[in-house]
Amino acid sequence: MSFEIDIEKRLGDTQVSLTLAAGEGATVLFGPSGVGKSSVLNMVAGLLRPDRGRIAVDGEPLFGDGLDVPPERRRAGYVFQEARLFPHKRVRANLLYGVRGEAQRFEDIIGFLGIGHLLERWPRTLSGGEAQRVAIGRALLSQPRFLLLDEPLSSLDRARREEIMLAIEHVRDVLKLPILMVTHDPEEAERIGNRVVRM
């Protein structure tokens, strides 16, 4: 599966411009804060409309030439910097929100993420690393075609960061799900990215 992105967007004083053709694995958008990395993810997800350009995933156009596929039909799994779990739902209910697929898939995903013991907990009782693993699980259970990761490690301590890095590597190498990730950390970019795009 491949990403084809050729977009421009004016955001206040910042002109966001990116041309990218990426194949399988993880593509990391790397650079300082404020250059528009997260805005690119939002445009790929359909949450922000480019001023001009084209976005396609695996040859299927999502934006351009008068087309703008709604976010819910793009089948993107999106993991934000903050886990954004529903505070009024336990972990199990958060994971099952928008789930597609069979029970075995649920068991497989909570197994490799190591979150089976958290299913009856409330989000407010989770550590940052636990919450991010639940957020990744929720994204994967929606059976996305690709995964968007917006600085998912930035608020975690070193031990928790390593947990999430291993989970992302599993998604990249075992599940073979294409990843478009944003970071300003060169170590993360080097470790996760099959290709790194500097912005």
pTM assigned to the model = 0.89
The pLDDT value recorded for residue 112 is: 87
Token representation of residue 126: 């989770």
- Fold annotation for 3-198: Rossmann fold (3.40.50)
- What is the bridge-based pairing of β-strands 14-22 and 3-11? antiparallel
HSE at residue 117, side-chain half, CA atoms within 13 A, is: 3
User: Would the pLDDT of 102 be above 70?
Assistant: no
Closest CA to 45 of 36, 58, 57: 57
Secondary structure of residue 195 in the 3-state scheme: strand
Query: What b-and-e string marks burial along 66-86, b requiring 16 or more CB atoms within 10 Å of the CB?
Result: eeeeebeebebbbbbeebebe
62-to-25, 45, 49, 67, 173 alpha-carbon distances in Å? 20, 9, 11, 7, 26
Angle of helix 158-173 versus helix 103-113 axis, rounded to 10: 140
Provide CB contacts within 8 A for 137, sequence distance 6+.
95, 109, 110, 113, 115
Torsion of CA 45, 141, 85, 11, to 10 degrees: -10
Token representation of residue 70: 């709604």
pLDDT digit string (tens) for 112-131? 899 999 999 999 999 988 99
Contact 122, 90 (CB under 8 A): yes
**Partners of 183 in the beta sheet?**
30
pLDDT digit string (tens) for 55-101? 998 888 999 999 999 999 999 999 988 889 999 999 999 999 878 76
User: Would the pLDDT of 199 be above 90?
Assistant: no
